[in-house]
Structure 1
Amino acid sequence: MQTLKPALLFAWIIVFSCGQRPLETNDKTQWMTLQQVSDSLRKQKKPVLIDLYTDWCGWCKVMDKKTYANKKVGAYLNDKFYTAKVDAETKSAITWKGRTYTFNQNYRTNDFAVYLTKGQLSYPTTVIIPVDGEPQAIPGYLTPPELELLVKYFGEGQDAKIGFEEYQKKFKASW
């Protein structure tokens, strides 16, 4: 009986120590609300990335799983951008930079989505708002390497220095 107790204790230690998961860092893209983005912009300027999606969009879901959940994408976006997800079809009012956008019956979408895409609605759409710049809408599903080119152009401030075509020719992908 005496030898059984240490064996049980050892088994108990093994079971419970194996059940403990190591602390994980969350490298997925960390999403903010538009209000949090606005508040953060008042403190520190960074480009903004908006994932414009709809609930019914299959490619939006794929982009969430394969692109925004990618560790390299998440780490870069979390460091260099303020990121927000916006449901293009929300019926809730959206306030951005002092203006309120409401649901538009004609487009069956929120006017904020119309503003961001200049009326060229497509889902998913990645919208990048450079520091002190206008929204740049990039329609369609983007893989991590495709997104890398775009976010590094704006994230490294190259948009203020050289044209996109020149940057694209020199760009070396690493994702």
Structure 2
Amino acid sequence: MFRQASFVFLFLGGILFSSSFTHPDAAEELTWEAWNSGYPRGIKEKKIILVDAYTDWCGWCKKMDRDTYANQEIIKKINKSFVPVKFNPELKQTYYIDSTAYSGRELHAMLSKEYSTGYPTTYFILTTKNKIFINPGYENAEQFAKTLDRIVAAAK
């Protein structure tokens, strides 16, 4: 009986000990919000709102999703300081700022300050400073990490 109990104890102890070495830190995930939930949350929490303006047909948008937004360093930076919002101006949807309703095209024009920016375009809304920074085009993870750092510094 003692040998069986010792074996079970050693077996369970070995499993517990080895499991602490076989599970690396879990990867962080980036959870995108829709405009109508992310924008008010960013305002309420006084966080920078990162708006990824994309379209379904945009190849560079898909590349940025696949390569840049999937990068763990980028995910950590965004999760720490931003409220990430996905925004497709071509969708037939109503977007709200406070109680004012906008179409996708109207919101896109307002965010872009009427400039033609193309896709992808990343907008950074600094909620505590009433500023919008426009970052048109694709950026790889290394470039985008620097952009995120500059935006965080500008928000201080």
TM class by shorter-chain length? 0.7 to 0.9
- The alignment's TM-score, normalised by the length of structure 2, stands at 0.75
* Amino acid corresponding to residue 69 of structure 1 in structure 2: A
One-letter amino acid of the counterpart of residue 118, structure 1: K
Deviations 1:27-73 (A, max 9, x none): 24221122322342354211110000001000000000000011110
Residues 54, 119 of structure 2: 8 Å contact kept: yes
Amino acid at match of 1:93: T
List 4+ stretches of structure 1 deviating above 4 A: 21-24
Structure 1: which 5+ residue stretches go unaligned? 1-20, 104-109, 162-175
Higher helix share: 2
Q: Give the counterpart letter for 2:118 in structure 1.
A: S
- Encode CA deviations 1:2-38: one digit per residue, 9 max, x unaligned: xxxxxxxxxxxxxxxxxxx969734242211223223
SS of corresponding position for 1:135 = strand
Whether 2:137 is the aligned partner of 1:136: answer no
Change (3 A) 1:125 1:99: same
Equivalent residues in 2 for 1:23-172 (5 A)? 25-103=26-104, 110-119=105-114, 120-132=116-128, 133-155=130-152, 158-160=153-155
Q: Helix, strand or coil for the counterpart of 2:117?
A: coil
Separation in structure 1 between the aligned mates of residue 71 and residue 139 of structure 2, nearest angstrom: 12
**Structure showing greater relative contact order (alpha-carbon pairs closer than 8 Å, 6 or more residues apart):** 2
Residue correspondences, number: 133
Name the SS for the 1:78 alignment partner. Answer: helix
Aligned to 2:74, what secondary structure does the other structure show? helix
Q: Deviations over 1:85-113 (max 9, x none)?
A: 0002111111123321115xxxxxx2111
- Indicate the RMSD between aligned Cα atoms, in angstroms: 2.2
Query: Gaps spanning 5+ residues in structure 2: where?
Result: 1-21
Q: Is the 8 A contact 1:27 1:70 kept in 2?
A: no
State, as a whole percentage, how many aligned pairs show the same letter: 29
CA distance in 2, matches of 1:160, 1:125: 19
Give the alignment's TM-score, normalised by structure 1: 0.68
